[in-house]
Amino acid sequence: MKKALLLICLLSAPARAELDLHQYFLLEGESRTLVSSPLNPNNTIGLFPDQMARVESRSDLRANAGNFSLLLHPRARGERDRINQLSSSQASLFLQEGYLQWSILENLDLKVGRVQFGWGPAESITPTNWFAPLIQLEPSPRYEQLGIYRAQASWSVGQGFNWIVAQEIGAPRDSWNSKFDTVADTYRERLLTKAEWNWDRSNKIIGVVAGGLQETGGFGLRGGAYGSWNLNDAWQLYADTVFQKRKLESQWLALATAGFRYTFENGAEIRAEGIFNERGYSHGKQKAALELLAANPSLITRAYLLAARENLSGQEYGYLAFRWTNPGFFPSFFQTPSVSFRALHSFTDDSQVVLAYLEGGFLDRFNASLYGGLFNGRDRTELHLLSDNLLGFSLSYSL
């Protein structure tokens, strides 16, 4: 059915098409210290690499023909990892995004395929986006989130209103071991409708979201809202909250974030956000759960470790970020240089992870980044394991 629909769309498109291609290559390398812990003794469960080297070809292709657009982001990756002193290599070909878009009317679009679409004012997490809410703690600045297969309709009224309905339509077929590194990226029959208003020249934004997804025990409902308010050029306040109810639960539990952004006269900005996860474990419950799992290692899988990292097992977090683009202290040959820091603190278990980045372009075709991470906390905490004593670099070249 999907192939037939795609064929009809392609055949009914005018013969003349506009093509736009951006091709670039990426070289990345990382090393990190892996700490042996009760949940991941000698890295036998997690099998995380302590050294990684990767080359990747990225193509961003858009073809427009009349009211139809085809967007494809294929990626070809070769990677060599060292895991527990053993080196291994792997190669993979996958689609980061790929969809067909039909502009039915000037303000009404339909997208079908693998789509990555995000919103929300907060930087750390977007609770109202249960397609992809994840905290952006992936170290590499070139990390790309993979799209999710969905059908999505978008209707806009001028600049000030937008309504989206999205339904997940299929499971990803990639090997999750190499690219899908979280169990969150499995087929969940996600359904979402979102309405967003902005006014006062986009200084005020509010959105409401409703829908749900398949969870343990059945289809869980979700509903929430987000908003941001620019007080002036310097200050912005924002919040994003969702209430979740699983099929087998009797109550609605909140996942919320609220924060502010302050921008200095020179363009540097700081953000501070608080995150509350009502479903997460309190300190006492987390301690008990971890001790139970550590006592029975057969219960622990790599999937669990990764899910724990992504799903915020604790309850309260603080997030702090600083970013400065075009600071004056960079050498003049750097183009659009920037320096940034991100830190996440878990109040539940008193652990922190800090990531730092230096980025810049040169010779109009190169982008280079140097990044590092440090973790601090009790060794039974798995949440930030991949960021301890991390040092990485990436270099991209655009044709």
Partner 1 sequence: MKAISIATRIFLTLALVASQVAFSAASQAAVNPEEILRKADRARGGVSDGLSWGIQMQNSGSSTLIKYEVKVKGNNVLARCQEPARQKGEVFLFNDRNLWVFRPGLKKPVSLSPRQRLTGQAANGDIATTNYARDYTPKLEGEEDVDGQPTYRLFLQAKESNVTYDKIRYWITKKDFLGVKAEFLTLEGAVFKTAQFSYKNSIPVNGKEMPFVSEMKIQDATKKDDTTTIEYAKPKAEKVSDSEFNVNNLVR
Residues that bind partner 1 (CB under 8 A): 22, 24, 60, 69, 73, 96, 101, 103, 106-107, 109, 116-121, 126, 132, 136, 142-145, 154, 156-162, 164, 196, 198, 201-203, 228, 230, 232-234, 236, 261, 263-267, 269, 325-326, 332, 335-336, 361, 364-367, 396, 398-399
Q: Which is nearer to partner 1, 226 or 317 (CB)?
A: 226
Q: Which is nearer to partner 1, 116 or 389 (CB)?
A: 116
Count CA atoms closer than 13 A to 69's CA, side-chain side: 12
Give the nearest distance from C-beta 269 to partner 1 in angstroms. Answer: 7
Report helix, strand or coil for 333: coil
326-341 burial: b if 16+ Cβ within 10 Å, else e: eeeeeeeeeeebbbbe
Nearest to 41 by CA among 241, 263, 294: 294
Give the nearest distance from C-beta 364 to partner 1 in angstroms. Answer: 4
Structure tokens at 359: 């980025």
Residue found under tokens 């899988």:
301
CA–CA dist 149, 146 (Å, integer):
10
Q: Which is nearer to partner 1, 111 or 246 (CB)?
A: 111
Give the nearest distance from C-beta 107 to partner 1 in angstroms. Answer: 4
Give the nearest distance from C-beta 27 to partner 1 in angstroms. Answer: 14
Give the nearest distance from C-beta 185 to partner 1 in angstroms. Answer: 13
Give the nearest distance from C-beta 34 to partner 1 in angstroms. Answer: 27
The DSSP output letter for 43 is G
Q: Which is nearer to partner 1, 228 or 257 (CB)?
A: 228
Structure tokens at 219: 């289809």
CA–CA dist 258, 346 (Å, integer):
15
Nearest to 116 by CA among 140, 138, 85, 148: 148
Nearest to 255 by CA among 225, 285, 278: 278
Q: Which is nearer to partner 1, 31 or 67 (CB)?
A: 67
Q: Which is nearer to partner 1, 264 or 292 (CB)?
A: 264
Give the nearest distance from C-beta 126 to partner 1 in angstroms. Answer: 7
Count CA atoms closer than 13 A to 1's CA, side-chain side: 3
Q: Which is nearer to partner 1, 218 or 267 (CB)?
A: 267
CA triplet 85, 86, 88: central angle to 5 degrees? 140
